[in-house]
């Protein structure tokens, strides 16, 4: 029997030290969701000296969020572009989250920039489009669901051939798919309400500058189990894809 390949978390950023010490880091939160779907998980640091494994050796890839900005085209981030293109060509399942969603869109020919209306932060309502009804990853979600969000940049133009799956009034591109196995989600399936509250606790002056009230946003936070279900579902899809590939081989 062939051993399952690991799901690789590419850690494009880290949370603040005071949050990490109390609640863990982005990769910890993502790994918990993937393991709930039965996956074996490894983490790769793209800022290190070791290149990521070949996509064909992985069950799937998850790109984390980051405090960096895709539009700044940092060297480590741009180095992931051809690797992501290779992964999509190989039909290795890919899930980009927030920064990872934007980086995937950029790698595949989309456009990323600051959102003209500023930050989207808090527990937000996301609406699925008709195309999502039969989508392998988002098809099981309700037509509207709550999700955690925090982002200043956005996918302003989708990659060629992308299928738009979900959005809302602020962010029209909350989820998309390219090909059969590559997804980007702007929302954070890995964030708990507690994690987002920890961010909001330190953003009062920044949000006030944009005319937003951190205390009011915090008061409206809630858990988002439907959005969180994306991670175990992605793990199961990746494992099923691996089994089906072996049967064909």
Active-site residue among 101, 129, 151, 188?
188
The full DSSP string for 49-109 is SSPPPPGGG-SEEEE---SS-GGG--HHHHHHHHHHHHHHHTT--EEEETHHHHHHHHHTT
Name the nearest CA neighbour of 158 among 178, 144, 141: 178
Measure the CA–CA gap between 38 and 18, rounded to whole angstroms: 30
Q: Are the C-beta atoms of residues 158 and 167 closer than 8 Å to each other? A: no
181: left (phi over 0), alpha (psi -120 to 50) or beta: alpha
Q: For residue 66, give both structure tokens.
A: 């980051």
Q: Are the C-beta atoms of residues 186 and 149 closer than 8 Å to each other? A: yes
Query: Scanning the structure block, which residue is given the tokens 């037509």?
Result: 143
Active site residue 18: no
Active site residue 40: no
Angle (CA) 239 236 171, round 5°: 120
Active site residue 174: no
Active-site residue among 16, 56, 98, 174?
98
Size of the chain, expressed as the number of residues it contains: 249
Q: Which residues are catalytic?
A: 98, 188, 190
């Amino acid at each position: 029997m062939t051993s399952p390949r690991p799901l690789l978390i590419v850690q494009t950023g880290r949370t603040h030290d005071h949050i990490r010490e109390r609640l863990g880091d982005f990769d910890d939160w993502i790994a918990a969701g993937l393991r709930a779907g039965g996956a074996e998980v490894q983490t790769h640091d793209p800022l290190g000296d070791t290149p990521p494994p070949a996509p064909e050796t992985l069950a799937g890839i998850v790109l984390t969020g980051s405090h960096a900005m895709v539009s700044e085209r940092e060297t480590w981030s741009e180095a992931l572009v051809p690797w992501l293109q290779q992964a999509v060509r190989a039909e290795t399942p890919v899930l980009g989250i927030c920064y990872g969603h934007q980086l995937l869109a950029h790698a595949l020919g989309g456009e990323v920039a600051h959102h003209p209306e500023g930050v989207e932060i808090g527990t937000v309502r996301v609406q699925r489009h008709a195309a999502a009804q039969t989508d392998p990853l988002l098809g099981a979600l309700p037509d509207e669901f709550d999700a955690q969000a925090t982002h200043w940049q956005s996918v302003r133009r989708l990659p060629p051939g992308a299928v738009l799956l979900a959005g809302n009034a602020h962010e029209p591109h909350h989820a998309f798919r390219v090909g059969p196995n590559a997804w980007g989600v702007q929302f954070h399936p890995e964030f708990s309400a507690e994690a987002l509250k920890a961010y909001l606790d330190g953003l009062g002056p920044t949000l006030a500058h944009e005319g937003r009230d951190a205390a009011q946003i915090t008061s409206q936070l809630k858990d988002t189990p439907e959005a969180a279900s994306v991670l175990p579902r992605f793990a199961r899809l990746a494992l099923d894809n691996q089994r089906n590939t072996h049967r064909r081989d």
